[in-house]
């Protein structure tokens, strides 16, 4: 890239409040407290959180738009964030599950965009948890390298602290999925899982937790996960999710706190 192009790009990132991507080795805060790279706040809970600086320019290709201010999509996420936060605060809750009826309807993209948008609010710390055990994808979409994740914690092979990653976005912490586990429903039903999910949800009262999950109609996982959620957002894909899918989903989630639907892939 020419010097002029570099300077223009730098000015654009600075204008939009986006930190410049850094190259080089992954950093780990070992004995220090966690210092998000662009934040002056110190959150003492993330003592061992790894910091991996992601390439913000590639996020747009993955439809992670809410990192940029001043566009129609990020405005939609700001509206969604406001509605979700006001409801959670009203109820004194902190935990949201993003689910949908079928695969590929846009759950993970929605979960990441909402998490980024929530973390951009100055007073929120957000933990984004990849609990799609069969096809974890948050690390791939964000461009994070993942050694371990939630599945390793559930299998007793890692601790939560060892697996958390700060992607260089203030107040956002990602718990990646880890290696895929085929018998996830059995593991999800175990007492160890219950302890870990309670820990994620309850250890830090001022932290919001967003769970990305597998599709409801494809496995029992999301239904089990929904027991831990204070609020459920249902992703519905335009021109694909059928009425019958939604009726089945509604029946499965009967009595659970579904707070709204998010319509994805709508054509102008």
Interface residue list for ligand ATP (CB under 6 A)? 63, 100, 103-109, 132, 135, 137, 215, 264-265
> What is the nearest approach in angstroms of ligand ATP to the Cβ of residue 215?
6
Selection from ligand ATP, Mg ion, none that 264 binds (CB < 5 to 8 A by kind) is: ligand ATP
> What is the nearest approach in angstroms of ligand ATP to the Cβ of residue 213?
9
Considering only the C-alpha atoms of the chain, give the largest distance between any 2 of them, rounded to a whole number of Å: 59
> What is the nearest approach in angstroms of ligand ATP to the Cβ of residue 154?
19
Looking only at residues 114 through 143 of this chain, which bind Mg ion when binding is defined by CB under 5 A? 137
DSSP assignment of 118-182, as one string? HHTSTT-EEEEEE--SSS--HHHHHT---S--HHHHHTTSS-HHHH-EE-SSTTEEEE---S--T
The packing angle between helices 107-119 and 72-91, to 10°, is 80
> What is the nearest approach in angstroms of Mg ion to the Cβ of residue 104?
8
**Beta-bridge partner residues of 126:** 172, 208
Cα–Cα distance between 225 and 184 in angstroms, integer? 11
Residues composing the chain: 268
> What is the nearest approach in angstroms of ligand ATP to the Cβ of residue 19?
23
Q: Which is nearer to ligand ATP, 138 or 154 (CB)?
A: 138
Q: Which is nearer to Mg ion, 19 or 176 (CB)?
A: 176
Out of 52, 94, 108, 213, the only residue in the binding site for Mg ion (CB under 5 A) is 108
Cα–Cα distance between 100 and 233 in angstroms, integer? 8
Q: Which is nearer to Mg ion, 99 or 193 (CB)?
A: 99
> What is the nearest approach in angstroms of ligand ATP to the Cβ of residue 99?
9
Task: Give yes or no for a contact between 205 and 175, defined as CB atoms under 8 angstroms apart.
Answer: no
Q: Which is nearer to ligand ATP, 221 or 230 (CB)?
A: 221
109 binds Mg ion (CB under 5 A): no
Stretch that binds Mg ion, among 71-79, 88-96, 107-115, 153-161 (CB under 5 A): 107-115
Which residue has the CB atom at the shortest distance from Mg ion? 108
Task: Give yes or no for a contact between 170 and 40, defined as CB atoms under 8 angstroms apart.
Answer: no
Q: Which is nearer to ligand ATP, 38 or 60 (CB)?
A: 60
E-assigned strands of the chain? 27-28, 50-51, 95-100, 125-130, 165-166, 172-175, 207-212, 231-237, 258-264
């Amino acid at each position: 890239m020419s010097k002029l192009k570099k300077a223009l790009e730098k000015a654009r990132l600075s204008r939009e409040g986006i930190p410049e991507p850094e190259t080089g080795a992954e950093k780990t805060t070992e004995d220090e407290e966690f210092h998000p790279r662009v934040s002056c706040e110190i959150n003492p809970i993330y003592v061992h959180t790894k910091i991996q600086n992601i390439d913000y320019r590639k996020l747009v290709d993955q439809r992670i738009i809410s990192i940029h201010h001043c566009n129609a999509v990020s405005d939609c996420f700001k509206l969604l964030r406001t509605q979700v936060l006001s409801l959670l605060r009203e109820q004194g809750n902190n935990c949201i599950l993003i689910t949908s009826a079928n695969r590929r309807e846009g759950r993970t993209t929605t979960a990441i965009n909402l998490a980024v948008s929530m973390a951009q609010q100055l007073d929120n710390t957000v933990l984004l948890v990849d609990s799609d055990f069969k096809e974890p994808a948050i690390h791939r979409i964000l461009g994070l390298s993942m050694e371990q994740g939630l599945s390793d914690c559930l299998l007793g092979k890692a601790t939560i602290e060892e697996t958390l990653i700060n992607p260089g976005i203030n107040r956002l912490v990602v718990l990646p999925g880890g290696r895929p586990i085929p018998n996830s429903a059995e593991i999800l039903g175990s007492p160890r899982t219950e302890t870990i999910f309670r820990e994620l949800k309850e250890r830090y009262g001022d932290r919001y937790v967003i769970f990305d999950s597998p599709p409801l109609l494809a496995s029992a996982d999301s239904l089990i996960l929904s027991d831990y959620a204070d609020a459920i957002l249902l992703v519905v894909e335009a021109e694909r999710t059928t009425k019958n899918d939604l009726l089945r989903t509604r029946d499965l989630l009967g009595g659970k706190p579904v707070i709204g639907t998010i319509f994805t892939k709508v054509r102008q």
